Amino acid sequence: MDLRQGIGLRRLGTTADEFQQDLLSSLYYRRGTTVESASPRDAYEALALTVRDRLAERRARTAAAHFASNPRWVYYLSAEYLLGAQLEQNLLYSGTGELASQSLKVLGRTLEEIEDLDVEPGLGNGGLGRLAACLVDAMATRDIPAVGYGIRYDFGIFRQSLEGGAQAERPDDWAFQGNPWEFPAPDDRQTVGFYGHTEPVPGSPTRKSWVPGEIVLGEPSHMLVPGYRTETVNIVRLWRARGSEASFDLSRFSAGQYAEAVQEAVRAENISKVLYPDDSTELGRELRLKQQYFLVSCSLRDIIRRFRLRNEGWDDFAEKTVIQLNDTHPTIAIPELMRLLVDEYGLDWDKAWSITRSTFAYTCHTLLPEALETWPVPLFERLLPRHLEIIYLINMFFLREVEARFPGDSDRLRRMSIIGEGSERRVRMAHLAVVGTEAVNGVAELHSKLLRETVLQDFADLWPAKFQNVTNGVSPRRFMKLANPRLSDLITEGLGDDGWLNDLDRLAGLERLAGDASFMERWRAVKRANKVDLAAGDPDSLTDVMIKRFHEYKRQQLKLLHVITMYHRIRANPAGDWVPRTVLFAGKAAPAYHAAKNIIRLINAVGATIAADPVVAPHLRVVFAENYNVTLAERIIPAADLSEQISLAGKEASGTGNMKLALNGAITIGTLDGANIEIRARVGEENFFLFGLDAFQAAEVQISGYHPREHYDRDAELKAAIDAITAGTFGGVGREVADSLLGWDEYLTLADYRSYLDCQEEVERAWRDPERWTRLSILNTAHSGFFSADRTIADYAARIWRVAPVPVPKDI
C-alpha cells in the first residue's frame, strides 16, 4: 500500500458540536434507543463508542503504517492484564474529555456519574498483570509495533469483601453487562487441540503427527491500546474458548438430556472461564495448563498469520518477530513453535530450533522457589503428548551441550535438566524458558543479580551473555495524570509545560522548587485535598499505606506488629505527644492461602480494638480498604504520605507500587529489596527510610539457624505485641499468626522488628517538621522519573528486542 494515497478514511469531528452529533448517532444507531428513554447504561455505552471511534480511526492509520513498513514486531505473551478502567484513560488519550463532559448534557448526565459505570477488567492478580498493562501502554507511546496476547477470562480476579473482618470472595463477572471497549474478531478464530496421541511420520526421524482427542475454538477480541500524544494505537488481543458447532448434541437435547447436550461446549468454555488467583499453593491443576496452552496455541497461529501477510517462507521469521514471555505461564510456546515448524511446516529440527531460540525472550518475575512453575510429567503427557516428546528432545540436545562444556559433572546435569528426576518427575518451566530463548531478564537490579547467582546460576555459567536486567516501570499517564490530576497540574505549572508525561526524567526540574515556600505550600495542599477525597481518616494525620497482595514474604504482619506496639505505647502514655496516623491496608489474599487470610483477620481485629478504645483512637486508626484493584489504587496512591515496602530482602522481585507511590510524593520506608534499592539510589539515602537486613544478611541468618524466640525474649515491646495477640486482646483472633511468628517465622519478621520500629521513629521526626517532610516528598517525585514504563520499554527495545519505533504519519 502506498501511504501517500491515504487510507480513505473520513476524519471524525473535533468540535463540541460534531462530538455531540456523534454521541447521538451512537445512541440512536448503535444502542438503538432514544434520548428520552436512554438509561445511564445507554449513555455510558454511547459515550464509550463515540470515544472508541476516535481511537479506532487512529488504529486504522496505525495498521496501515505498520503494514506498509513490514517492521520487526514485538509480541507480548501474558496470561494476565490488569488494564484498569478504560473510559477515563481513553478520554485522556483521545483528548476528548472536555467534549464528552459538554456533550453529555444533551443526555442529562454528568461525566462523573457515567464514569462510575465503567468496570475495570480485572484480568490479572497483581504486579505481573499490571506491569503487562503499563508495558503495552508504553510500547504504544513509544511507537513500537506490538500486540499483547492474553486470555479473555469471563471472571477476573475475585471481588473481595470483609465479613466479620475476614476476607470473603465473590466472582467478578466484569463483562456481565457487555464491554464496549472490545472488538470481537470471530474470523480470526483458531482451533486448539488437547489430549490424544502422536503417530510417526514415515521417512522422518523427528517429525510426528499429533492426533488430538479434544478440539476447542479460540475466538479473539481486541481492545485498543493508544499511545499518549502520538498517533499509534496498538492492540491487546484476548482469546476466549468456545465449543465448536459440533459440540452441541441436538439429539440429546431433543431427548431432554439438557445438561449432557451441552457438556462438551461447557468443557471447552471452561478454559477461559476464570483467572486463577495464583500466589496460592494449589498448583498442578490441569485446567490451568490448558489455559496456558490455549493462549499459546491461538497466539502463535495468529502471529504466523500476521507474518504471512507481508512475508513468505521462514527465513525472515525471527528477524521480524520477537515474542516476550511474561513469566513462565506462556512457556509452552517454545515446544509449540517447534511443533508447528517441524511437524506442520516440515522444517528440519536444527533450523526450527535456531528460529525458535532467536524468536523468544523470557522475563522472570520471582525468586520464590514455590512460585517457579513445574508440571507433573504424567499430566503433561496426557494433555500435550507431542509437546512432551519435543521437550524431551530439547532436553536431550541441551544436556549434551552442558556435558560438552562441563564433562562428567553429573550433578550439574541433574540440576539443569528441564525434567526433574526421581520422585519429582516434573517439567521445570523456568528451565525450558531459559533454554529456549535468546534473552532472560529479571525485573530489578537485585533480582537480576540474584537470578544469576542463585536460582539460575548454572545457566548463567553456561550462557552469561543471555542474562539481562530490565528494571520495571509504571505508566505516568495512569498513575500521575489520571490518578492525581491536582499534583500533575502543579508539576506542569512548576516545570512550565506538561511534556514530562512523555519524558519523565524532566521531573528532575522540580528539585529547584523543593525549597520554594509557595510551591511547597501548594504541594502540601494537593496532598491534603487528595486525602480529603479518599476520606480514609483525618487528612492531617500521617497516611501510612501498605497496598499489595497479601503474602507472608511481603510482611504485612511486620506492619501489624508496629501498629500493636503503637497501641501499647499510646495506652501507656495517653498524654504523650503522638503523631496521629492513619494506617491503611489494602490487598487480596489467595482464597486458599490461609496464613495470609489470617493476617487480614488480625488487621481488622486490631483495627476494631483500636477504634473502640477512646484513649488510642484519636491518635491511631487502622483502615482496611476492601477489594483493592487498579481503580482503588488510583485513589489511594495520591493520598499517601508513607509507602510501606517492607518485604524480606531478597524476596520481592521488584515491586511497582513502590514506584507509583514515590512518583506521587509518598516517602518510602523499606528494606533493601527489589526496586527499593534503585529508588533509594535515585532519591538519595537521606530521602528514604531504610531498615532491616539486606539479602545477604538474611541468607546468612537463615543458614546459620534462625530462632525467632530469641528476639521475642530479648525485646519487651515485641514480646508484648505478640503476647497481646495470644492473650486475646484482639478478640482471640490471630493466634495462628503469632504461632507462626514464634515457631519458625519464615520471613524473619522478628529479626527486622526493632530496626523497623526505630526507623518509624525517624519517620515521625521527619513528619513533625512539615518543611522537611514536604521537601522529602517533592524530591521523591523529582528523582523517580527513571521509573517510567517508557524507560523500561526503551531498555527492552535496546537490550533485548532490537526494535525501532515506527511513527505513524498524521496525514494519511
Which three three-digit cell numbers place residue 65?
A: 503504517
Q: Find, among 133, 127, 1, the residue nearest to 477 by Cα.
A: 133
Amino acid found at 691: F
Cβ at position 529, least distance to ligand 26V in Å: 29
CB 570, CB 615: distance < 8 Å: yes
Pseudo-torsion of CA 603, 608, 611, 614, nearest 10°?
A: -120
* Shorter beta-carbon distance to ligand 26V: residue 128 or 637: 128
Q: How far is CA 702 from CA 102, 262, 552, 695, in A?
A: 62, 54, 16, 11
* Shorter beta-carbon distance to ligand 26V: residue 218 or 650: 650
Report the distance separating Cα 400 and Cα 459, nearest Å.
Answer: 14
The neighbouring-strand residues paired with 147 are 75, 235
* Shorter beta-carbon distance to ligand 26V: residue 430 or 725: 430
Share of the chain residues as helix, strand and coil, in percent rounded to the nearest 5: 55, 15, 30
Q: Look-up: residue for cell 477488567?
A: 121
Cβ at position 441, least distance to ligand 26V in Å: 10
Cβ at position 688, least distance to ligand 26V in Å: 18
Cβ at position 802, least distance to ligand 26V in Å: 22
In sequence order, which residues have a C-beta less than 8 Å from that of residue 254 and are 6 or more positions away?
none
Which three three-digit cell numbers place residue 616?
A: 488510642
* Shorter beta-carbon distance to ligand 26V: residue 22 or 278: 278
* Shorter beta-carbon distance to ligand 26V: residue 278 or 790: 278
Number of residue whose CB is nearest ligand 26V = 127
Q: Find, among 66, 79, 219, 76, the residue nearest to 137 by Cα.
A: 76
Catalytic residue numbers, as ranges: 365, 548-549, 554, 656, 660
Q: Look-up: residue for cell 461525566?
A: 111
Which positions touch ligand 26V (CB under 6 A)?
Answer: 126-128, 131, 278-279, 281, 327, 365-366, 368, 370-371, 443, 472, 551, 652-656, 674
Cβ at position 86, least distance to ligand 26V in Å: 22
* Shorter beta-carbon distance to ligand 26V: residue 537 or 650: 650
CB 236, CB 221: distance < 8 Å: no
Q: How far is CA 744 from CA 9, 148, 207, 721, in A?
A: 66, 42, 52, 17
Report the distance separating Cα 587 and Cα 806, nearest Å.
Answer: 39
> How many H helices and E strands in the chain?
33, 24
CB 366, CB 191: distance < 8 Å: no
- Helix, strand, or coil here: 691? coil
Cβ at position 565, least distance to ligand 26V in Å: 27
Backbone angles phi and psi of 539, in degrees to 5: -65, -15
Q: Find, among 551, 599, 474, the residue nearest to 125 by Cα.
A: 551
- Tell me how far the alpha carbon of residue 301 is from its chain's centroid: 25
CB 166, CB 256: distance < 8 Å: no
The widest CA-to-CA distance across the chain, in whole angstroms, is 90
* Shorter beta-carbon distance to ligand 26V: residue 57 or 278: 278
Pseudo-torsion of CA 412, 413, 419, 425, nearest 10°?
A: -70
The neighbouring-strand residues paired with 242 are 217
How buried is 312 (Cβ within 10 angstroms: 0-12 exposed, 13-18 middle, 19+ buried)? exposed
State the helix-helix crossing angle for 385-405 and 349-359, rounded to 10 degrees.
Answer: 90
Backbone angles phi and psi of 84, in degrees to 5: 80, 175
CB 123, CB 152: distance < 8 Å: yes
Counting every residue written for the chain, the total comes to 812
Cβ at position 557, least distance to ligand 26V in Å: 16
Report the distance separating Cα 290 and Cα 737, nearest Å.
Answer: 36
